[in-house]
A = this chain, B = another copy of it.
Amino acid sequence: MTRNPPERFVLVLAGGRGERFWPWSTRERPKQLLPLAGGGRTLLAATLERARALVPASHVLVLTARDLVAAVRRECPPGVEVVGEPVARNTAAAIAAAAHRFGPAHAFAVMPADHLVEDTGAFRADLERAFAVAERDDVLVTFGIRPAGPDTNFGYVHAGERLADRLHRVDRFAEKPTPERAREYLAAGGWAWNSGIFVWRAGVFLAALEAARPALAGALAPLAGVAPAAFEAALAPAFAEAESISVDYAVLEHAPNAIVLEASFDWDDVGSWGAWARRQPHDAQGNVVVGNVVPIGCEECVLVGDGVTTTAALGLKRMIVVHADGETLVCPLEESDRVRQVSEAVRARRRS
- Chain A residues packing against B (C-beta within 8 Å): 22-23, 294, 296, 305, 308-316, 319, 321, 323, 325-332, 334-335, 338-339, 341-342, 345-346, 349
Give CA–CA (A325, B310) in the complex, Å: 10
Cβ B309 vs Cβ A345 within 8 A: no
Query: Is there contact, CB below 8 Å, between B326 and A312?
Result: no
Beyond A310-B327, A312-B328, A314-B331, 4 additional pairs, beta carbon < 8 A: A311-B330, A312-B327, A314-B329, A316-B330
Residues of chain B with a CB closer than 8 A to A326's CB: 308-309, 326
Minimum Cβ distance to chain B for residue A102 (Å):
42
Give the complex CA separation of A335 and B297 in angstroms: 11
Complex contact A319–B330 (CB within 8 A) = yes
Residues of B within 8 A of A346 (CB): 294, 310, 312
Given contacts A323-B328, A326-B309, A328-B323, contact A314 B296 (CB under 8 A): no
Closest to A331 in B: B314
Check A332/B309 contact, CB under 8 A, given A294-B345, A296-B342, A326-B326: no
Picked from B312, B314, B342, the residue with its CB within 8 Å of the CB of A294 is B342
Residues from chain B with Cβ under 8 Å of A312 in the complex: 22-23, 327-331, 342, 345-346
- Which residues from chain B contact A323 at a C-beta distance below 8 Å? 323, 328
Are A330 and B313 in contact, CB atoms less than 8 angstroms apart? yes
In the bound complex, what is the Cα–Cα distance between A339 and B334 (angstroms)? 25
Which 3 pairs across A and B sit closest by C-beta, in order of nearness? A314-B331, A309-B326, A315-B335
| Nearest-neighbor residue (CB-CB) of A348 within chain B | B294
Sample 5 A-B pairs with CB under 8 A, ordered by A number.
A294-B346, A310-B346, A311-B327, A314-B335, A316-B331
- Which single residue of chain B is at the shortest CB-CB distance from A329? B312
A315 touching B332 by the CB < 8 A rule?
A: yes
Q: Are A314 and B327 in contact (CB under 8 A)?
A: no
CB-contact partner of A345 in B296, B325, B339, under 8 A: B296
Interfacial chain B residues near A22, Cβ < 8 Å: 312
Nearest CB in chain B to that of A309: its residue:
B326
Query: Could you tell me the distance between the alpha carbons of A305 and B330 in the complex, rounded to whole angstroms?
Result: 12
Q: How far is it, in angstroms, between the C-alpha of A70 and the C-alpha of B48 when the chains are bound? A: 59
B contact residues around A335 at 8 Å (CB):
314-315
> CA separation between A326 and B292, bound complex, in Å?
12
Pick the contact of A328 from B296, B309, B331, B349 — CB < 8 Å? B309
With a cutoff of 8 Å between Cβ atoms, the chain B residues found around residue A315 in the complex are 331-332, 334-335, 338
A23's contact among B310, B313, B316, by CB below 8 Å, is which?
B310
A17 to chain B, nearest CB (A): 18
- Asked if A309 contacts B330 (CB within 8 A), the reply is no
Give chain B nearest CB distance to A297 CB in angstroms.
8
CA distance A338 to B345 in the complex (A): 32
Chain B residues in 8 Å Cβ range of A316 = 330-332
Report how far A315 CA is from B311 CA in the complex, Å.
20
Collect the chain B residues with CB atoms within 8 Å of residue A331's CB: 312-316
Of all chain B residues, the one with the shortest Cβ separation from A315 is B335
Cα(A321)–Cα(B311), bound, Å = 11
CA–CA, A136 to B310, complex, Å? 54
Question: Across the interface, which residues of B come within 8 angstroms of A309, CB to CB?
Answer: 325-328
* Partner pick for A314 among B305, B310, B313, B342, CB 8 A cutoff: B342
How far, in whole Å, are A330 and B301 apart by their CA atoms in the complex?
A: 12
- Please tell me which one of the listed residues B314, B342, B345 contacts residue A341 in the complex, with CB atoms under 8 A apart: B314
